[in-house]
Amino acid sequence: MSSTKRWILVTGATAGIGYSTAEMFAKNGDNIIITGRREDKLKELADKLQKDYNVEVIYYAFDIKLKSEVLKFVDEIKSKNITPDLLVNNAGLSRGLDKIQDASIDDWEEMIDTNIKGLLYITRLVVEMMVKVDKGHIINLGSIAAYQPYTGGSVYNATKFAVRAISDAINLDLVDTKIRVTAVHPGMVDTEFSTVRFGGDKDRANSVYNGIDTLTADDIADIIFYVASLPERVNVQHIMVTPTQQRSINAINRNNIFK
pTM of structure: 0.95
String of DSSP letters for 29-81: T-EEEEEES-HHHHHHHHHHHHHHH---EEEEE--TT-HHHHHHHHHHHHHTT
Which pLDDT value is given to residue 250? 92
Q: Residue 135: exposed, middle, or buried by beta-carbon count in 10 A (0-12, 13-18, 19+)?
A: middle
Which pLDDT value is given to residue 71? 98
3-state helix, strand, coil in the chain (%, to 5): 45, 15, 40
> Are the beta carbons of 156 and 111 closer than 8 angstroms?
yes
DSSP 238: E
- Nearest Cα neighbor of 16 from 252, 201, 214, 203 is 214
- Strand partners of residue 186: 241
Q: How far apart are CA 62 and CA 160, in angstroms?
A: 22
Q: Which domains does the chain have, with CATH numbers?
A: 7-241 (3.40.50.720)
> Residues 150, 156, 209, 226: which is the catalytic one?
156
Which pLDDT value is given to residue 28? 96
pLDDT tens digits in sequence order for the chain, 259 residues long? 444 689 999 999 999 999 999 999 999 999 999 999 999 999 999 999 999 999 999 999 999 999 999 999 999 999 999 999 999 999 999 999 999 999 999 999 999 999 999 999 999 999 999 999 999 999 999 999 999 999 999 999 999 999 999 999 999 999 999 999 999 999 999 988 888 888 888 888 888 898 999 999 999 999 999 999 999 999 999 999 999 999 999 999 998 666 5
CA atoms lying within 13 Å on the CB side of residue 17 = 29
Verify whether residue 156 is a known catalytic residue: yes
Which pLDDT value is given to residue 206? 86
Which pLDDT value is given to residue 26? 98
Which pLDDT value is given to residue 2? 40
- Ramachandran area for residue 152 (φ above 0: left; ψ -120 to 50: alpha; else beta): left
- Strand partners of residue 140: 89, 183
Which pLDDT value is given to residue 259? 56
